[in-house]
Amino acid sequence: MEQIESHKPRVGRFALFLTFSRISLSSFGGALFWARRGLVERQRWLTEREFVELLSLGQLLPGPNVLNLTVMVGYRFAGWSGAAAAVAGYLGWPCLVVIGMGVLYQHYGALPQVQRALAGMSIVAAGLLLATVIKLAFVLPRHWRPWLFGMLAFVGVGVMRWPLLWVIGALAPLAIGATWKEKE
C-alpha cells in the first residue's frame, strides 16, 4: 500500500463506535455502500484509494469483508481499543435490532404487507450494492479482462442460475491462466 499513513486524522474510540454504529444500523442488506459513504464521504477518514486497499485486504482475510475493514480502520486510528470500539459499534446495535425483528417476524411475518416490504428491501439492497461496485470500479485500473470474468460470473450465477461454486471453479483457473500467460 502506498503511503497509507499519509492521510490519518485523529479519531477517538467513541467516534469510531458512533460511526460504525451508524454504518451498521443504516446497512440493511449490505454494509459496503454505507461503509464507503461513512468513512470516505462523511468522515473523510480514508481516501477512495485507501478504502479500496483496506477493503481488498479485508476480502482476502477470513470472515466478512466489512467486519475486517471495521477492525483495520479501528486499529489504524486508535489501536486495539479502537478496533474493539469499532467492532462493538458495528455489531452491538444490529444484534439487538435482529433479535427484535426476529420477535416481530415471528408474530407478523405471514402478513402479505410484511412479505411485500421485505421484497422491496431486497431490491433496494441490490441497487445499493450495484452503485457501490460502480463507484469502486472507477478507482481501480482499467483492464478488460476482470470485466469479462465478472460478466461471465454474473451470467453463470445470475442468469443461468448455476451454483456459485461451479462457476468459480470453472472461471478461477481460466482467470489465473490468462493472467499468467499475460505476464510471460
Look at residue 130 in the predicted model and tell me its pLDDT: 82
Look at residue 146 in the predicted model and tell me its pLDDT: 79
DSSP secondary structure, 25-86, as one string: HH-TT-SHHHHHIIIIIIS--S-HHHHHHHHHHHHHSSS-HHHHHHHHHHHHHHHHHHHHHH
Residue 172: is its pLDDT beyond 60?
Answer: yes
Look at residue 67 in the predicted model and tell me its pLDDT: 95
Mean pLDDT of 63-79: 95
Would residue 110 be called left, alpha or beta, if left means φ above 0 and alpha means ψ between -120 and 50 degrees?
alpha
pLDDT classification of 1: cutoffs 50, 70, 90:
very low
Residue 3: is its pLDDT beyond 50?
Answer: no
62 backbone dihedrals φ, ψ, rounded to 5°: -70, 145
The answer to whether 139 and 40 have CB atoms below 8 angstroms apart is no
Mean pLDDT of 168-180: 88
Residue 36: is its pLDDT beyond 90?
Answer: yes
Look at residue 7 in the predicted model and tell me its pLDDT: 57
Could you give the CA distance from residue 11 to residue 46 in angstroms, rounded to a whole number? 12
Residue 114 CB neighbours (<10 A): 14
Q: What is the pLDDT of residues 114-143, one digit of tens each?
A: 999 989 988 888 888 888 878 877 876 777
Q: What is the pLDDT of residues 76-111, one digit of tens each?
A: 999 999 999 999 999 998 899 889 989 999 999 899
| pTM score over 0.95 | no
142 backbone dihedrals φ, ψ, rounded to 5°: -90, 110
C-alpha cell at 168: 468459480
Looking at every residue in the chain, the average pLDDT score rounds to 88
Could you give the CA distance from residue 127 to residue 123 in angstroms, rounded to a whole number? 6
3-state DSSP assignment of residue 110: coil
List, as own/partner pairs, every contact residues 68-77 make where C-beta atoms lie below 8 angstroms and the sequence separation is at least 24, other chains included: 69/35, 70/20, 70/35, 73/16, 73/39, 73/45, 73/46, 74/16, 74/20, 76/8, 77/8, 77/9, 77/10, 77/11, 77/16, 77/45
